[in-house]
Amino acid sequence: MPIESPYKLVVAAKDGTVIRTVDLTKRQALTVGRSPRCDLTIDLDSISRRHATLLFLDGAWMMVDCDSKTKFRVDNQKVDRALLNEDRPIHLGGAYFWLQASPKTPAPPNLEQARATEDLWQPDESESGNACLRILDLECRPLHQFSPRGEQTSIGTSSRATHTVKIDGWAPHQLALIHERSGPVLMDISASCMLRSSGVSIRRCNASGRTLLRCGNFILEWTVELESHENETGLWDAIQNDSLG
């Protein structure tokens, strides 16, 4: 059964004007950015095309930066990971984000707010994704293998993670496999990000094909299958068909 989040996400401009109100009661993950391919599009120049991802873990919503240049601010401190709550907004670009508890007895829908969220992208729950994550030791011996399921799949040492792994040095929730509109994504969601690509620290990997990464003392093999073009007719097929005709 999917976990239900008892919150709404409120997005406001600097002057306090509410830009969007998003119902989170049926969501577990949400990407935010300027790109129309984000789950929640905020059309502000101060926000990156894909700026941050929201994740619902252990009954709380967490915002994780997507390797943007500006990250975001909490209590005027620049961070790349923070918990959302009702009392302390997160300042991301030219917008402020905070949570609002949903009433146990829902009120009749507000048409103005419904209009603001009616185009919010929803992932197909029946789609399992075309990605695979393999965890290997430094001698390339395979230890674990996972595929994304639903909006987000968490991996860590906690028994509350989707997949529990006993790996020294890893956080209770270390990694997340996320089903975004643009395809499967691997993210490091821990407080001390350990994900490395070519020696550089990253939070997010959305590469297609096969990618090798490091996470602490382990190798990650992240594979995203490319779209099949088997049914397309290429130039060589057209030449063959003409010669046979």
Does pLDDT of 231 surpass 50?
A: no
Between 110 and 245, the more confident residue is: 110
Residue range 134-152: mean pLDDT, rounded: 94
The predicted structure's pLDDT at residue 236: 40
3-class secondary-structure state, position 218? strand
The predicted structure's pLDDT at residue 242: 42
The predicted structure's pLDDT at residue 230: 46
CB contact burial 32-44 (16+ within 10 A = b; e otherwise):
bbbbeebbbbbeb
Q: How confident is the model at residue 108 (pLDDT cuts 50, 70, 90)?
A: low
Q: Which CATH architecture has domain 131-224?
A: Sandwich (2.60)
Q: pLDDT tens digit string along 16-55?
A: 889 889 988 888 999 999 999 899 999 889 999 999 999 9
Least confident of 96-105, 110-119, 124-133: 110-119
Parts of the chain belonging to CATH 2.60.200.20:
7-117, 131-224
The predicted structure's pLDDT at residue 167: 95
Rounded Cα distance, 39 and 53, in Å: 9
CATH of domain 7-117: 2.60.200.20
| Residue 102 C-beta-side C-alpha neighbours within 13 Å | 18
Q: pLDDT tens digit string along 80-100?
A: 999 998 888 999 998 999 999
Q: Quote the distance between the C-alpha of residue 57 and its chain's center.
A: 12
The predicted structure's pLDDT at residue 126: 54
Rounded Cα distance, 186 and 177, in Å: 5
Rounded Cα distance, 84 and 63, in Å: 7
